[in-house]
Homo-oligomer: A and B are copies of this chain.
Amino acid sequence: MRVAVIVHLKKGVLDPQGKAVLHALNTLGFEDVENVRVGKEILVDINTKDREKAIKEAKKMADELLANPVIENYEIEVKE
């Protein structure tokens, strides 16, 4: 089962990479773009067919390794 862990900086935490992309997009002529946040999507293939188990495992992984709870939030999405 493939699960996505999507990690973003919390609201209020400065995102210099996002700011850099915003500036670059504006410079390239994308003037409608108002804000950009850059995060990670980590696709994890877990050897189980149990959807609930996969979600539980993915949450544990996010808490233990994939996200920094001080500055980051995460979401879990089951892909297949």
Q: How many residues of A contact B (CB 8 A)?
A: 31
**Contacts A28-B65, A32-B57, A65-B21 given; does A41 touch B40 at CB 8 Å:** yes
Each complex incorporates copies of this chain amounting to 2
Inter-chain contacts of A39 with B (CB < 8 A)? 40-43
Give the docked Cα–Cα distance between A25 and B60 (Å). 10
Interface residues of A, Cβ cutoff 8 Å to B: 6, 8, 18, 21, 24-25, 28, 30, 32-48, 57, 60-61, 64-66
How far apart are A53's CB and chain B's nearest CB, in angstroms? Answer: 9
Of the candidates B21, B28, B66, which one forms a contact with A21 in the assembled complex, judged by CB atoms under 8 Å apart? B66
Inter-chain contacts of A30 with B (CB < 8 A)? 57, 60-61
